[in-house]
Amino acid sequence: MVGKITMVPSAIIDQACALLAQGQAVAIPTETVYGLAADAIQDRGVAAVYALKNRPIFNPLIIHVPTLEAAAEVAVLTPQALDFAHHFWPGPLTLVLKRTAHSSISQLASGGLETVAIRVPAHPIMQTLMRAYQKPLAAPSANRSNHISPTTPDHVRASFGDQTPFIVDGGPCVVGVESTIIDMTGEVPTLLRPGFVTPEMIQEILGVQVINGLNGPLKAPGMMKRHYAPTRPLRINALPSGDTQEAYIGFGPTQMSCTFNLSFTGCLIEAAARLFSMLHQADRPPFTSIAVAPIPTDGLGLAINDRLQRAAAMAL
Ligand code: TXA
Ligand code: MG
């Protein structure tokens, strides 16, 4: 993993808790991307998140809790889900589970579904905040809908401008792409969004085969085709055009002239951590368009290619 995690004073955590309790949205660091958090029990806070992001309310949010025990209060963990949780929590894995009968999670947060997407983030500052607040936090990525996901506080400010919420600064995010989402409510675990935890890792560690639901009917409601989009045209799997106004994002040791390089050594972990940051840098003057080199599709490359394809898609 790359990147540096900064610590925050307890006064910042107290202030964040006070705002959350008032039903306000707060930007928080996680190991994947910055989230826009609200108290997941209060419709008011959840509504503030949807409004600030300009997000359709049928697109449910991920619920963040500090421990497996806290997850079990709001969702049903089947034996297989417990296996996943024991191995990958805290960490960049979200499980879609059935709500418990007495689940206190706001219906607005879970889009009125019988299921709920839950994760236990590993980021130490987020852990401190969740333990201090003692209630689940609903948190989508801290950007306006369809903008590039934020991996630094500056990205959050760039997306929200004068509507920027209070930000708990945790430094740059080490993983850089959103959590893997796996639906555990069907007969077999189904991948709804690729991320740092890959089906290969799950197969190797748990001996469980995860089926690919990326193009199937079970899709996560928020996995719209155009999602992680820069404002400039984007070519993927591309060679440089030679146009100096095109930002060319390379990958690996290459003789080609690159404006940026996701990883000079060809490391997919480093590339994922830098992906959104480089798209942000390429999506400003003097550049008028963006092109990205081919990225291998194995392991974490699946998640990187998934984000790039969505960013490049021309229509909703
Ligand atoms: O890494 C992450 O997961 C980040 C950080 C902040 O934790 N959060 C994040 O949240 O990416 P968001 O809201 O941008 O993504 C939520 C995804 C959407 O694609 C949504 O459709 C899906 O989770 N989702 C939420 N609840 C679901 C459910 N009950 N069933 C299926 N998909 C669900
Ligand atoms: Mg998002």
Task: Express as a percent the part of the chain with pLDDT over 90.
Answer: 75
The residue whose CA is least distant from atom 14 of ligand 1 is 140
The pLDDT of residue 41 is 96
Sorting pLDDT into bands at 50, 70 and 90, what band is 254?
confident
Token output for 237: 């799997």
Tell me which residues have their CB within 5 A of the ion that is ligand 2.
141
Q: Is 56 in the pocket of ligand 1 (CB under 6 A)?
A: no
49-53 average pLDDT score: 91
Q: How far is the CA of 145 from the centre of ligand 2 (A)?
A: 7
Atom of ligand 1 nearest to the CA of 61: 13
What are 166-199's pLDDT values in tens digits?
A: 999 999 999 999 999 999 999 999 999 999 999 9
Region of poorest pLDDT, from 51-65, 111-125, 218-232, 285-299: 218-232
115-143 average pLDDT score: 97
Q: How far is the CA of 40 from the centre of ligand 1 (A)?
A: 13
Quote the pTM value. 0.87
Q: Is 74 in the pocket of ligand 1 (CB under 6 A)?
A: no
Q: Is 128 in the pocket of ligand 1 (CB under 6 A)?
A: no
Task: Please confirm whether the linkage preceding 90 is cis (ω < 30° from 0).
Answer: yes
CA angle 169, 310, 2 (to 5 degrees): 35
Q: Is 191 in the pocket of ligand 1 (CB under 6 A)?
A: no
List all residues 6 or more positions away from 127 whose beta carbon is below 8 Å from its beta carbon.
66, 90, 121
The pLDDT of residue 163 is 96
Atom of ligand 1 nearest to the CA of 117: 26
Sorting pLDDT into bands at 50, 70 and 90, what band is 3?
very low
Token output for 259: 């404006």
What does each C-alpha distance from 205 to 53, 199, 300 come to in angstroms?
36, 10, 16
Sorting pLDDT into bands at 50, 70 and 90, what band is 227?
low
Q: Is 132 in the pocket of ligand 1 (CB under 6 A)?
A: no
Q: Is the pLDDT of residue 218 over 60?
A: no
Highest mean pLDDT among 100-104, 200-204, 271-275: 200-204
Q: How far is the CA of 241 from the centre of ligand 1 (A)?
A: 36
Query: In the 3-class helix/strand/coil scheme, how is 169-200 assigned residue by residue?
Result: CCCCCCCCCCCEEEECCCCCCEEEECCCCCHH
Sorting pLDDT into bands at 50, 70 and 90, what band is 54?
confident
Atom of ligand 1 nearest to the CA of 181: 23
